[in-house]
Structures are given as C-alpha cells and as structure tokens.
C-alpha cells in the first residue's frame, strides 16, 4: 500500500517536472525584448509612469501560462495598471495594489468604462475655470519655484472646478488628464529632470493643454475594443493588505516590484499629488526601495528588502490557488557601490514559502526606455522569474 502511494507520488512529481520543463521552453522561446513590437495601444500612453511595463510583458505571461480557470490576475505593485489592463483584454478579472495615489488613479482610469458626456463636461469645466481670476495661494511647499503665479491660478481653477459634486462621475478621468499635463505646465525641465527652467507657458495654454489631454484620453479609452471585466485597485501598502481584501482566488500574479535605490515613484509624482490633495511625504515613507531611504541616518538595506519581499509573498501565497503562477520582473540594484541581485532575493523568498521554480532568464531593457535615475547603476537587463504553486 505504502509502496503504491510512493510510486503514485513519484509519477506525479515526474509529470509535474515534465509540464514545468515544457512551460520553461515555451517561455524562453518568447522574444522578451519585443524588438518586433507593433505600435502600443494609445491607452498605454495616457499618462507618464516610471518603469511601467510595456503591455507585451503581462500579455506574454497571460498567453503562455495555463491559468487555472475561474481565477483572477493580481499585481501587488500595479503602478499604472498595465497588468490589469492586459488581464481585461484577455477577459480576466484582476486586482491591483499600489501605494501611490497617482498610480491608482491611472490604473482605475485605464480599466473603468468612460462615463458618457465626458467631452461636454471638459468644455464646461474649462469655461468655468477660465472665469476664475483669483484664488487663495495653494498650500503646497515651494510652489513658486515650480509653478508661475498665472499657472497656479489656471491649475487651481481647473482642480477646484472638477472637484464640484456635479462632476463626481467623471472625476477620475478629469484628474488623470490634469495630472498628465502638470509637469509640462510647470517650470520643471522634464519628467526625468528636476531642474527649474524658464518656459513659455501662459495661463491660457494650461486650458488648451488640458483640453488636448482630455481629448486624447477620451480617444484612447474609446479605442479599447475589449470587454471590461472587474479590475479593482486597492490604494494601500501591499505589506499591510489582508488576503480577504483581494476577494478572489488568484491564478496568476504578474508584477515588477519596486526595488532598492532604483526609482522614486513618490518624487516623480510629488507635485501631482500635492495638486490633487494627496500627501507625497506619507507615500515616500512607505515606498519600498525609494532612493531617499538609502541616504538617511539609519539607511535601508538589502536585508530590509528581503523582509519586505517576504511580506509580499506571504500575501501572494495566501491568495494564490493551487496550480497558480507567479511572475516577477526585477532589475538589479546598486547600494553604495555594491550590486544587489534582486532576482536571487525573489527566487530565495519565493522558494522558501514553497513555490516551485518554472523558469528564470534575463530580459534586455530597451535602450529607448527612459530611466531617469538608473544610469547610476548601469542596469541593462532585468530578471524574469516564474514560479508555480503545486
């Protein structure tokens, strides 16, 4: 009897190994640099976001892996919601978590239906805002350094008008359009360069740029020729989310986590957050990997990152169904001169909780992808790790 059970287990283990080997081959046949990539859907470009996925990455995982039926896709660090959007495109429900309210705003807009009458509402808001000729100065630190007084007036008038209760149904889309132009109308040189320069932008330009951004957003949302299954976005610290908040069994996790001393999402969106009434400083405090944490008195370390990833995997393991897959895309870090292989950290943490490795390989990061502060680490590839719960 015991021998029978043991030999059954051996047969099972052998067939699991064979399935896993064939998935490994399938994944490695994909061109992960997507050099032949066709033009991205307009929806991918509605708002800048640092280190965002190209849609091809989550799409390739969704297409290649046998996702257990009736399950959802989870991205525990969803940023601008690329994974959620690709899940929708494939007809799957999804859940995303991100700390950054601008990330959550973009992710919601990309995955929600566009409420009717958007174009008319935009025109109404612009005409009302044009008639506002004075406002109390916004309570935003260092505002005069980054925004000329006439620009402050125009942005403030738009933000205040769209917050009126009558526009509540369109608020996310309106805010996303406004947020998308804020760096261009500010004195900041560009999204990736934090220097104040003289720009020829006047008050009227703000309204014109907002109208253009809103029209572009509307076109991009209407171009989504796929259904919109549920995509819920939790604005939270992933390390504090309870499994019950996910609300569905998860069959696929696709994510690129924040990693030490690399990007600073809070800084990139700092003034967007101030203008929309959020507090960037509290976001910074909880942001995993933010560079600022590595230069303070009690600096963050690679060990802390291991601990943080253990927290993220605890949540993942709790909600992942048997047979479900976990796909991480992660780069290397350089902390005070020392290169940290985050891929090894993810692999170690994931296998410690019992996930089985399916595949692991490097992906070349496109030279055209703007990385505004990774030059210090000379990062040219990132690691893709795929695991399964057996």
Ligand X SMILES: C[S@@+](CC[C@H](N)C(=O)[O-])C[C@H]1O[C@@H](n2cnc3c(N)ncnc32)[C@H](O)[C@@H]1O
Residue 98 touching ligand X (CB under 6 A): yes
Q: What are the two backbone dihedrals, phi and then psi, of residue 324, each rounded to the nearest 5 degrees?
A: -75, 160
Strands annotated E in 10-137: 72-75, 94-98
Query: Least distance to ligand X from the beta carbon of 239, Å?
Result: 6
Evaluate whether 41 touches 110 at the Cβ level (below 8 Å).
no
Query: Least distance to ligand X from the beta carbon of 142, Å?
Result: 22
Considering only residues 243 through 282, tell me which ones interact with ligand X, judged by CB under 6 A: 256, 258, 265
Return d(Cα 327, Cα 359) in angstroms, integer: 9
B/e letters for 231-245, b = 16+ CB within 10 Å, e = fewer, are bbbbbebbbebeeee
Evaluate whether 95 touches 248 at the Cβ level (below 8 Å).
yes
Q: What are the two backbone dihedrals, phi and then psi, of residue 213, each rounded to the nearest 5 degrees?
A: -65, -40
Residue 147 touching ligand X (CB under 6 A): no
Query: Least distance to ligand X from the beta carbon of 272, Å?
Result: 13
Query: Least distance to ligand X from the beta carbon of 313, Å?
Result: 14
Nearer to ligand X (CB atom), residue 73 or residue 103: 103
Question: Pairing state of beta strands 193-196 and 188-190?
Answer: antiparallel
Nearer to ligand X (CB atom), residue 86 or residue 162: 86
In the complex, residue closest to ligand X by CB: 79
Evaluate whether 252 touches 245 at the Cβ level (below 8 Å).
no
Residue 287 touching ligand X (CB under 6 A): yes
Nearer to ligand X (CB atom), residue 288 or residue 385: 288
Query: Least distance to ligand X from the beta carbon of 261, Å?
Result: 13
Return d(Cα 88, Cα 70) in angstroms, integer: 14
Return d(Cα 222, Cα 113) in angstroms, integer: 9
Which residue in 27, 239, 349, 386 binds ligand X (CB under 6 A)?
239
CB atoms within 10 A of CB 44: 20
Nearer to ligand X (CB atom), residue 128 or residue 291: 291
Return d(Cα 363, Cα 385) in angstroms, integer: 11
Which residue in 100, 173, 179, 232 binds ligand X (CB under 6 A)?
100
Query: Least distance to ligand X from the beta carbon of 6, Å?
Result: 43
Count of residues engaged in binding ligand X, rule: CB under 6 A: 22
Query: Least distance to ligand X from the beta carbon of 79, Å?
Result: 3
Nearer to ligand X (CB atom), residue 269 or residue 389: 269
Query: Least distance to ligand X from the beta carbon of 93, Å?
Result: 18
Nearer to ligand X (CB atom), residue 95 or residue 122: 95
Nearer to ligand X (CB atom), residue 256 or residue 388: 256
Nearer to ligand X (CB atom), residue 26 or residue 286: 286
Query: Least distance to ligand X from the beta carbon of 184, Å?
Result: 20
Evaluate whether 326 touches 350 at the Cβ level (below 8 Å).
yes
End-to-end CA distance of the chain: 24
Which residue in 180, 238, 333, 359 binds ligand X (CB under 6 A)?
238
Nearer to ligand X (CB atom), residue 147 or residue 305: 305
Dihedral over Cα of 160, 106, 172, 253: its sign: negative
Nearer to ligand X (CB atom), residue 100 or residue 232: 100
The string of DSSP letters for 227-289 reads ----EEEEES-GGG--HHHH-S-EEEEEE----TTS--HHHHTHHHHHHTT--HHHHHHH-TT
Query: Least distance to ligand X from the beta carbon of 58, Å?
Result: 8
Residue window 56-95: x/- pattern of binding to ligand X, with contact defined by CB under 6 A: ---------------------x-xx-x-------------
Phi-psi region of 281 (alpha: psi -120 to 50; beta: other; left: phi over 0): alpha
Considering only residues 32 through 61, tell me which ones interact with ligand X, judged by CB under 6 A: 49, 51-53
**Residues of this chain that bind ligand X (CB under 6 A):** 49, 51-53, 77, 79-80, 82, 97-100, 103, 237-239, 256, 258, 265, 286-288
């Amino acid at each position: 009897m015991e021998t029978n059970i043991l030999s059954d287990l051996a047969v099972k283990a052998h067939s699991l190994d064979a399935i896993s080997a064939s998935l490994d081959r399938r994944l490695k046949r994909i061109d992960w640099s997507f050099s032949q990539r066709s033009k991205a859907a307009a929806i991918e470009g509605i708002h800048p976001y640092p280190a965002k996925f190209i849609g091809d990455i989550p799409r390739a995982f969704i297409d290649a892996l046998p996702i257990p039926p009736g399950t959802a896709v989870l991205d525990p660090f969803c940023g601008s919601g690329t994974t959620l959007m690709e899940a929708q495109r494939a007809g799957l429900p999804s859940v995303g978590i991100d700390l950054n309210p601008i990330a959550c705003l973009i992710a919601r807009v990309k995955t929600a239906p566009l409420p009717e009458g958007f174009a008319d509402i935009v025109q109404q808001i612009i005409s009302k805002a044009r008639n506002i000729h004075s406002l109390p100065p916004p309570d935003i630190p260092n505002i005069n350094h980054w925004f000329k007084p006439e620009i402050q007036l125009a942005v403030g008038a738009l933000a205040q008008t769209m917050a009126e209760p009558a526009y509540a149904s369109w608020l996310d889309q309106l805010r996303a359009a406004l947020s998308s132009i804020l760096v261009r109308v500010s004195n900041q040189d560009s999204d990736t360069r934090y220097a104040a320069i003289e720009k020829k932008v006047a008050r009227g330009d703000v309204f014109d740029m907002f109208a253009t951004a809103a029209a572009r957003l509307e076109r991009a949302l209407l171009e989504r020729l796929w259904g919109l299954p549920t995509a819920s976005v939790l604005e939270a610290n992933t390390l504090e989310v309870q499994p019950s908040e996910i609300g569905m069994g998860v069959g696929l996790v696709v994510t690129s986590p924040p990693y030490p001393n690399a990007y600073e999402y809070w800084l990139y969106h700092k003034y967007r957050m101030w203008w929309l009434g959020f507090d960037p400083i509290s976001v910074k405090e909880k942001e995993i990997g933010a560079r600022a944490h590595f230069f303070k008195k009690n600096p963050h370390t690679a060990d802390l990152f291991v601990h943080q990833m253990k927290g993220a995997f605890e949540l993942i393991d709790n909600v992942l169904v048997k047979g479900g897959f976990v796909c991480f895309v992660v780069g290397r870090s350089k902390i005070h001169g020392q290169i940290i292989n985050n891929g090894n950290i993810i692999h170690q943490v994931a296998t410690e909780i019992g996930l089985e490795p399916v595949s692991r390989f490097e992906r070349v990061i496109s030279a055209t992808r703007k990385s505004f502060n990774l030059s210090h680490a000379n990062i040219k590839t990132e690691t893709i790790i795929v695991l399964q719960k057996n």
